[in-house]
């Protein structure tokens, strides 16, 4: 992927609270990205339709759909922050600590 396209993805990474992401989960669009992976790198591979890499991450549980237990825990903290990147039709998310979210940390 050209550097300008990757830069474009990097600029689209945002922070969102769980309560804003829940609807995406209900339509099956959320993909949880483990923190050892870069969100932009995963987005780049999804956009490039690199099914071999994506399947490898899925098999290694580095990418997954949120579990019922995770959803229940996040429902208990609706302001839980996530880094997010929309790569249609998916929304890639990565958990953040509450302290990593400026809005929540200063509230």
Determine the average pLDDT of the residues in 77-101. 89
pLDDT in tens, 38-87: 999 999 999 999 999 999 999 999 999 999 999 999 999 999 999 999 99
The torsion angle over the Cα atoms of residues 48, 59, 29 and 106, rounded to 10 degrees, is: -100
**Domain housing 34:** 3-106
pLDDT for the residue 105: 38
Structure tokens at 70: 């995770």
Token reading at 17: 């609270």
Cis before 8? omega within 30: no
**% of the chain exceeding 90 in pLDDT:** 79
User: Is the pLDDT confidence value at 2 over 60?
Assistant: no
Domain count along the chain: 1
Tokens 């929540």, located at residue: 104
pTM of the model: 0.84
């Amino acid at each position: 992927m050209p550097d300008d396209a990757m830069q474009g993805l990097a600029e689209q990474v945002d922070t969102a609270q769980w309560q804003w992401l829940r609807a995406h989960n209900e339509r099956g669009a959320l993909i949880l990205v483990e923190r050892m992976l870069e969100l932009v790198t995963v987005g780049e591979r999804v956009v490039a339709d690199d099914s071999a890499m994506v399947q490898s991450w899925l098999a290694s549980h580095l990418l997954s759909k949120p579990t019922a237990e995770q959803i229940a825990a996040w429902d208990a903290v609706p302001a839980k922050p996530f880094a997010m990147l929309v790569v249609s039709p998916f929304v890639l998310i990565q958990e953040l600590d509450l302290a990593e979210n400026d809005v929540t940390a200063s509230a």
